[in-house]
Copies of this chain bind each other. A is one copy, B any other.
Amino acid sequence: MMTETKRGRPRKFDEDQTLDKIMQIFWEHGYSATSLDQISAATGLNRPSLYGAFGSKKDMYLKIVGRFADLMQTHLRNAGSTVIGAKPKLKAIMNAAIDLYTGKTEMAGAPFGCLAISTLPAEAAQDSEFRAALEAVLARMDKGFCRLILAENENRITEIEAMETAQHLALLLHGLSIRARAGEPSKKLKQLATSAVDKIMN
């Protein structure tokens, strides 16, 4: 099949750049407190264009959550790949996450914590789709940590033990994201993360 040239009036916006702007707004204000007018103003698109390109407000938000998880995963994976050994990798990953949470990366410009952990739970109790999205994010982090632990398996632990440790690490990370959202400084969070990883990775 050949790549047909597109018919119709061309878009005047870049989809990726627009999604990034939308992500920033949801990241800062959460789902319920964000209005489509706000998004319209920030992106330069009017509401019908937004609706045509990304669907309803809920569609947009859920898409953004997935996008955030993708971006975060590559960010953390890259950070882990710079060092050798399970513990150093985990510490590097924690530090990279804290940088993300405290606005010290190009991805985030302000200390807003984790988009998913900070904004999804507020909606999760009332709406099963949001709850499922939250659970998906959690499962994804668990698996990510678990894979890393098994790949660097120095003590020949079982898969079940690895999953338990992975979930311990995820618990820590989510707690750290809340503290970042509360405004605690990056330096303090990194100290906390490092000492916690030392205790958890026996």
Chain A interface residues (CB < 8 Å from chain B): 27-33, 110, 112-113, 117-119, 121-126, 131, 134-135, 138, 164, 167-168, 170-176, 178-179, 181-184, 192, 195-196, 199-200, 202
User: Of B29, B117, B174, B178, which is within 8 A of A138 by CB?
Assistant: B178
| Stoichiometry (number of copies) | 2
Instruction: Please give 14 more A-B residue pairs, beta carbons under 8 A apart, in addition to A118-B122, A121-B121.
Output: A29-B126, A30-B122, A32-B33, A33-B123, A33-B126, A112-B125, A138-B182, A164-B192, A168-B172, A168-B196, A171-B196, A173-B175, A174-B178, A196-B200
Do B122 and A28 touch across chains, with their CB atoms under 8 A apart? no
CA distance A202 to B121 in the complex (A): 32
Given the complex, which residues of B lie within 8 Å of A168, measured CB to CB?
Answer: 172, 192, 195-196, 199
Task: List B contacts of A174 (CB < 8 A).
Answer: 174-175, 178
Tell which of A32, A175, A202 has the most Cβ of chain B within 10 Å: A175
A33 touches B122 (CB 8 A): yes
The interface residues of chain B lying within 8 Å CB-to-CB of A134 are 178, 181-182
Across the interface, do A192 and B178 meet the contact criterion of CB distance under 8 Å?
no
Closest 6 CB pairs of A and B: A171-B175, A30-B122, A32-B32, A122-B122, A118-B121, A32-B33
